[in-house]
Amino acid sequence: MRPLTVFQAVAALAVGVRLARGRDRLPPLAPVGATAGRISVVIPARDEEGRIGPCLSAVLADPAVAEVLVVDDESGDGTARLAADLGAKVVVGAPLPEGWVGKQWALLQGIEAAGGDIVVTLDADARPAPGLFGALATALDGYDLVSAGPRFVCGGIAEQALHASFLATLVYRSGPIGPSSAPAPHRVMANGQCMAFRRTAMLSAGGFGRVRGHMTDDVALARTLAADGWAVGFLDAGGLLEVDMHESAAEVWREWGRSLPLRDVTGPGRQAADLAAIWLTAALPVLRLAAGRPTRLDLGLLAVRLLLAGALRGSYTRPGPGVLLSPLLDPLTAVRLTQATLRPVRNWRGRTYPRGRTCPKGTAAGVTTGDRPDRPGRAGRPAPPARSAAR
């Protein structure tokens, strides 16, 4: 047996084990109305005048939300004015300190200004449905940190195909959303477009300060806190949350491809193994099929990939043929992941950030193991079992 075939078989086994976790996924979040806790929604915003309106309108209309805070991160447009006109409380962001990425700095200021027991952070391109915030608050009965997986709004075949190909790489590397059992801290995933936690616990843990320099802030935060012992849940909220991230396939390639390798939250060894797995199990079978020389293993992997494409249709608001055609773009996706891994981009929203630390061996997301705050359960409430969030 050729060495490449052996490596491909090993990679296929690893991917198969991750995909198999989908057999025991937690059910999607169901809408919940009134809750016991007071909910504050914090939205970091930098030059979001063109798209924050629908998000704010939906949040302000939800009776479960006690207050909505928009942290205006030195916007050059009318973001703050629009937010105030719609009825949100505007927090004028302080100048960005050295060593901080803008989003983490804005979120910290919003959390400090919030008055609710529970904080939900939301990106300006999110579109929440009624019942989302109550569902997230209820999920915190079983978790210390929850993030919500949305349905994506993608227009056009090319944009949807590329987006679905990128999304498939996350599933290949980390397994499906909503695992019933917690993965190891270094495999924990999260979606920073929508996160929920208890305010005092997050401030006590210093969460956003500990990941201040990370471009992949959401996964860095989740892995850091999971290593502390926090129960972290990544739950399916597709029926309650939509996100319109990009306007074209070119923007998907440029913007999402920038962060998708998870370079600053994954150690070099695991990153190399994950990248090799994508090349061997997703890209290589398509290339061999195009050359008319697929092996039986290639054909089996292509069948698995097509099944995944079918499953991913539920991740889109209006799934079209692009999702099913997405396996054809897997070689391009592998190229983009390799490019962003070798030449990471640290530009975002008109700012350029210096290169930060990569994840050291034996720690989570570049945070050292010393002087970790206690998990919330030790600070005042018993830590409940993770599965209880499925109620």
- DSSP string spanning 14-74? HHHHHHHGGGGBPPPP------SSPEEEEEEESS-TTTHHHHHHHHHT-TTEEEEEEEE-S
User: Helix (H, G, I), strand (E, B), or coil: what is residue 242?
Assistant: strand
Please give the distance of CA 226 from its chain centroid, rounded to a whole number: 15
What DSSP string describes 191-234?
-TTEEEEEHHHHHHHTHHHHTTT-SSHHHHHHHHHHHHT--EEE
Residue 121 has a pLDDT of 98
CA distance to 263, 316, 336, per residue, from 155 (Å): 28, 10, 21
Mean pLDDT along residues 344-348: 73
Could you tell me which of 315, 339, 176 has the C-alpha nearest to residue 238?
A: 315
For residue 307, what are its two tokens? 């099944």
Distance of CA 120 to the CA centre of its chain: 14
Model pLDDT for residues 189-202, shown as the tens digit of each residue: 999 999 999 999 99
pLDDT digits 0-9 by tens, 126-180: 999 999 999 999 999 999 999 999 999 998 999 999 999 999 999 999 999 998 8
What pLDDT is stored for residue 36 in this prediction?
75
pLDDT at residue 376 is higher than 70: no
Residues pairing with 138 in the sheet: none
Give the percent of the chain with pLDDT over 70: 90
Q: State yes or no: pLDDT of 365 exceeds 70.
A: no
Res 79: pLDDT:
97
* Beta-carbon contacts of residue 328 (< 8 Å; ≥ 6 apart): 161, 286
- Beta carbons of 144 and 227 less than 8 angstroms apart: no
Nearest to 211 by CA among 228, 194, 224, 229: 224
**Domains with residue ranges and CATH for the chain:** 3-22+254-352 (no CATH), 25-154+176-247 (3.90.550.10)
- State the Cα–Cα distance between residues 300 and 280, nearest whole angstrom: 13
Question: What's the pLDDT at 153?
Answer: 95
109: closest CA among 45, 25, 29?
45
Q: Are 193 and 125 in contact (CB under 8 A)?
A: yes
* Range 323-334 average pLDDT: 98
Q: How many other C-beta atoms lie within 10 A of the C-beta of residue 255?
A: 15
Range in 36-40, 67-71, 106-110 the model is least confident about: 36-40
Summarize the confidence of residues 290-296 as an average pLDDT: 97
**3-state secondary structure at position 90:** strand
Summarised one tens digit per residue, pLDDT across range 230-289 is 999 999 999 999 999 888 999 999 888 778 889 889 899 999 999 999 999 999 999 999
Whole-number percent of the chain with pLDDT over 90: 77
Q: Which residues contact 334 (CB under 8 A, 6 or more apart)?
A: 275, 278, 279, 282, 283
Report whether pLDDT(92) > 60. yes
Closest CA to 255 of 264, 245, 268: 245
Please provide the average confidence, as pLDDT, over all residues in the chain: 89
* pLDDT tens digits for range 63-77: 999 999 999 999 999
Whole-number Å distance between alpha carbons of 146 and 234: 6
Cα→Cα distances 24→34, 258, 360, 387, Å: 29, 31, 32, 11
CA angle 335, 160, 295 (to 5 degrees): 50
- Token readout for 299 is 């054909």
Average pLDDT over residues 197-226: 96
